[in-house]
Structure formats: C-alpha cells, structure tokens
Amino acid sequence: MSRLNHPVIGQYIPADSFLHRLDPRAKLVFVFVFMMIVFLAKNAAGYSLLVGVALSGVLLSRIPLPMILRGIKPVLYLIILTALLHLGMTRGGDVWWELGPITVYEQGVVQATVISLRFLILVLMGTLLTLTTSPMELTDGLERLLCPLTRVGVPAQDLALMMSIALRFIPTLWEEMDKIMMAQRARGADFDSGHLLRRVKSYIPVLIPLFISAFRRAEELALAMEARGYRGGKGRTRIRELRWKKEDTILLVVLAVLSISLWWLRG
Amino acid sequence: MPRTRLMTLVEVAVMAAIGGILSIFPVIKLWPQGGSVSLVMVPVALVAFRRGWVAGVGCGLLVGLIDLMLGPFILHPVQVLLDYPVSFAALGLAGLFRPRWEQERSARSLGRRLASGIVLAGLVRFIIHFISGVIWFGAFAPKAFSPALYSFFYNISYIFPEVLVTLVIMLLLTVKAPRLVLKP
C-alpha cells in the first residue's frame, strides 16, 4: 500500500460559477427531488428534458469535463453491467443480432440505453453537487434543512457541530496516521504482506496511538470550548451565514416546472 | 451544557473523523464500486462501547455522511439514505452490549459482549444494505434478473469480512489498551 501522501479530501473543486454560488440548501433540495422525479420519465420527451437539465448543470458548474468523468468512473462498471443484462435478457420487437445462445432484440437495445441514461443522470447530479459544494457548506445546508426536526428531538445543531469538528479534524488526523505508519515502518512494521489476520493485527500499533492522540485532542477541544462558555443549541452565532438569493429561488422554480412537466409528459 | 455531554460530543466528532479516514483507506480491495474491507467500523464500535449506543449511533451517522460527501455512490434516492446515514448509524447499536457494572468487565464476559455487539451491528448493517441493494437494483435490472440474489452476495462479500476484522481489532484493543475501550 502506498503512503497516504495526499490529504486531498473529498471531491470539491473550488471555482466561481453559478452552481458554486448557489445556496447549499437550494442545491440539496434540488438534487434530492431531482433524483426522485428522474423515475417519472417514461419516454423520449421526458428523458431529453432530464438530459437537458443535467447538461446545463455541467455547463453552469464550469468544471472541466475530465474532473466530472472521474467522479462518474466508479459507477461506469455498474452501468455497463446493467446495460449488458438488459441487452441479453429483454425480449420483444425485432431480432437485431444473434450469436449462439444470445439473441439481442430491439427492445433490449432500447431498454439498455434508457436504463444507462437514467443511471448516468442520477450519478451526474450527485457528482455535480459534491464537486461544487464544500463539505462545510453541505453541513450548514443540512443543519438548516433539518432544523424543523429539532422539535421532535433530533439534535440537528449538535450533529452539525460534530460534523464541522469532524471535517476540521480529518486532514489533521490523516497526517497523524501517516506519521504513525511511517514511524512503525521505521521500526520494521509491515502492513502489506502476510495472511489476513496478520495484516489486520499489524494495524493495532497504528490504531492505539491514533486513538489516544485523538481522544487527547478531543479533551483539549472540549476544555477550550467550555472555557469559552460554549453552551450549545440556541443563540449560538456562526462564522458562516447562509444567504438565500434570487438565484436560489429561480432554481426551485425550475425544479417545480421540471417536476410538473415530467408528470405531464409521463402520460 | 454538562461536562460529560460536551466531552461525548467532541469525542464522537473526532472518532467520526477517523472513521471517515478509515473508510477511504482499504485494508483489502474487493470490488470496483467501493466494496472493500476497511476498518471503518472500528471507531464507531469504540465510541459505542466507550460512551453508549446513542453516541455510537451519532458517530455512525456522521461517518455515513462524511463517506457520502467524500466519495458519493449515488444510484437511487432511497439507496442514498439507506446506504450512507442509516446503515452506518446502525453500527452504533453495538453499544447496546456495553458493560455497565464492574462484574461485567471480566475478560470472558467482555469478550462475549464485544462479539454480540459487533455481530448485531454487522447484521443490522447487512440487512439495511441488502434492502437498499434490492431497491436500487430492482429499479435498474431486467425483470428476469433477481436483485435479491445479487444484493445478498454482493453485500455479504464485504460485510462479513469487515465484521470479522472489526471484531479481531476490538478484541485486541481491549486486551492491549483496555482504557481506550472502557472508560475507567
């Protein structure tokens, strides 16, 4: 296993585009609803509408295409697998191609294309969200969206606080783990060979110092927060304020229009 | 805010950070789509035994969300909810077996509790991933194809080894660093 040499966490690519500037709340709502209405599309008109929205998203994000493709890559294998399944197993329409036991029907080709397209659109929208929104923004957005749930006992603010702390500590602890692994290697530790149990055991001398140091950091942080009078919950001021802009309202209007048109085209 | 509550919040956050790191750090790679054996369950189980199942569930929830932000694998709206926040939160249920009294902290009783807790957590996680797999694959696969079978084998192929690895590590941790797992 290679050294953990680049602590680049997440997919976020900073830039100044329309999509980057949108409020995370608006983006979260859009992507979540969009993922559900994708399943409403049943015909060419519906799909061209969805493809149009996805492509305008790509254009508006001003993120280079290779970066977007890299986000989609892990799912490509699944898309190909399902497309092949549909090619081989769907019957109906004219026979287009025959090879031994495998017969490809017209319907199979249609199904394979439609399903791959649906897959691609879903993955593309999720990728666009994480490419244009930093984890911190996503956390702030989620906290605000979950705010109404505080009444039924979901500690949205506490969760958001923990999330911010966790995100803040990922690079620090990543570096720490890297250092500990190098130190153990210098003592002759071997993480890459041997049978399963041995390999798993070799992580114990990494995990113990890592956990101890993490708990120590946690204690220091809790003390520091207490010393500054942190009481949690209501009335806490924040360093980043979310601002709902005109563009965000436009996005939600687009979403509403899109949902209605898909519903209408479905028939 | 009471002292222990703040301590617990911060500890859960820091352990969730380690969980996020470990989730993208495979010990063994199995499948191209994220089905690799990692140590991601270890920090969640640790928090669950150290601070109880509520803290464990919170930690799991955060790990799931971090995982979703770092390397999203999005196929279906229900799948996203089940595969990330819900299934990881379920790992915190291991804390239901947390020893509460001194006599439950004997080596044998502790080993049994760790094993039951981690197996329970793994089982619930498997069931959630299994349902999610059936739902999303059902939405994409041809009618003649059984999504249940696919989901069963795919999910068991990495959850089973992951549960074993977590169990081994947690047992070793309790032997070598008991004060990490059981707050004195």
Residues A120 and A14 in one domain: yes
* pLDDT above 70 (res A1): no
Q: Do A217 and A191 belong together in one domain?
A: yes
How many Å lie between the alpha carbon of B76 and the closest alpha carbon of chain A?
7
The architecture CATH gives domain B1-181? Orthogonal Bundle (1.10)
pTM value is 0.88
Residue A2 lies in a domain: yes
Flag if B66 and A170 touch (Cβ within 8 Å).
yes
Residue A187 lies in a domain: yes
Percent of chain B surpassing pLDDT 90:
54
Which residues of chain A does B13 touch, with a Cβ-Cβ cutoff of 8 Å?
161-163, 165-166, 169, 218
Residues A55-76 have pLDDT tens digits of 999 999 999 999 888 878 878 8
Clarify whether residues A192 and A166 are in a common domain: yes
Q: Do A75 and A174 fall within a single domain?
A: no
Domain ranges of chain B: 1-181
Both A246 and A210 in a single domain? Answer: no
pLDDT at A2 (0 to 100): 41
Residue A26 shares a structural domain with residue A115: yes
- Note whether A227 and A264 are same-domain residues: no
| Average pLDDT in chain A | 87
Query: Would an 8 Å CB–CB cutoff place B75 in contact with chain A?
Result: yes
Alpha-carbon span A180 to A206, nearest angstrom = 6
Domain count within chain A = 2
Tell me, yes or no, if A201 comes closer than 8 A to chain B by beta carbon.
yes
Does residue A161 form part of some domain? yes
pLDDT at res. A21:
94
Q: Is A203 among the domain residues?
A: yes
Task: Please report the ipTM that was assigned to this predicted complex.
Answer: 0.92
Looking at chain A, which residue has its C-alpha nearest residue B142? A86
pLDDT digits (tens, 9 = 90+) for A219-260: 999 999 999 888 876 677 777 788 999 999 999 999 999 999
**A96 & A15 share domain:** yes
Q: What is the pLDDT of residue B121?
A: 96
Where in the sequence is the domain holding A94, given as residue range(s)? 1-133+241-267
Residue A74 shares a structural domain with residue A168: no
> Which of B6, B39, B49, B151 is the best residue to mutate to test the A interface, defined by the most A CB atoms within 10 Å of its own CB?
B6
Q: What confidence tens digit (pLDDT) does each residue in A88-110 have?
A: 877 777 777 777 777 788 888 88
Q: Are residues A120 and A10 in the same domain?
A: yes
Residue A6 maps to a domain: yes
| Cβ–Cβ contact A203 with B under 8 A | yes
Of A85, A165, A177, Cβ closest to residue B10: A165
The arithmetic mean of pLDDT across residues B95-118, rounded, is 84
**Residue (of B46, B183, B12) closest to B105 by Cα position:** B183
Return all residues near A85 (Cβ < 8 A) that are at least 6 apart: B141, B142, B145
Flag if A158 and B9 touch (Cβ within 8 Å).
yes
